[in-house]
Amino acid sequence: MAITVVANPINLTWANFRVTPNKILDPADGTMQDSFTKFDFAMPALPARNVGGKLALADPMTITITPNAQVWSGVVQSAALLSHEQFHYDVGVVTARAFARELSRLRKDTQAELVTALRAAETLHFITRTGLLQKRYDLDTRHGTQAHYQKIWKDRMTLCLSNPNSTRLGGFWL
């Protein structure tokens, strides 16, 4: 058994995007963008279990990643733009895998300590590491307009997604 991750859906389509009447402000760099993709995650509220006298999270458990995406109504919904946004979504999947591995190892004396450790892991993976990856990706690819760097990052992601035990995406820790 394990704590696992599932993406729903695995691949984005334009139907997964909320259409907005205006361009979208990217909170990472303050630029106006045609589209913006982040992800949400959900974990079932399951009771902790006892492992060798310590509390651990429920096992089995599945963490679900879902898109939280927007697209400006005035943009051409191209395959290239969707591919760029898919990367942003995939970051959620690979960081969730690292998060799940960390949660599988958590052992604490009290429920409060377990919850505190869970929240710290959530912040590390879904805010700190995800934020660094998303920002670097957009800087290198100029928000998907630099095909050369877009391909490099997409190749890195393909490799990372193919190995559920990956701990890094390119040179970045997950």
Specify if 171 maps to a domain.
no
Specify if 174 maps to a domain.
no
Specify if 61 maps to a domain.
yes
Q: What is the CA radius of gyration of the chain?
A: 17
Specify if 169 maps to a domain.
no
143 membership: H or E segment, kind and range: none
Specify if 124 maps to a domain.
yes
CA atoms of 84 and 151, how far apart (whole Å): 10
Specify if 170 maps to a domain.
no
Identity at 90, one-letter amino acid code = D
- As beta bridge partners, residue 66 has 40
Total tally of structural domains belonging to the chain: 1
Specify if 113 maps to a domain.
yes
Specify if 114 maps to a domain.
yes
Identify the CA nearest to 102 among candidates 31, 38, 165, 11: 165
pLDDT tens by residue, the chain, 174 residues? 699 999 999 999 999 999 999 999 999 999 999 999 999 999 999 999 999 999 999 999 999 999 999 999 999 999 999 999 999 999 999 999 999 999 999 999 999 999 999 999 999 999 999 999 999 999 999 999 999 999 999 999 999 999 999 999 999 999
How wide is the angle at C-alpha 13 spanned by C-alphas 10 and 16, nearest 5°?
90
Which structural domain, as residue segments, surrounds residue 58?
3-164
| pTM given for the model | 0.96
Omega within 30 of 0 (cis) for the link into 67: no
3-state secondary structure of 49: strand
CA 24 to chain centre: 19
CA atoms of 115 and 38, how far apart (whole Å): 24
pLDDT at position 1, please?
A: 62
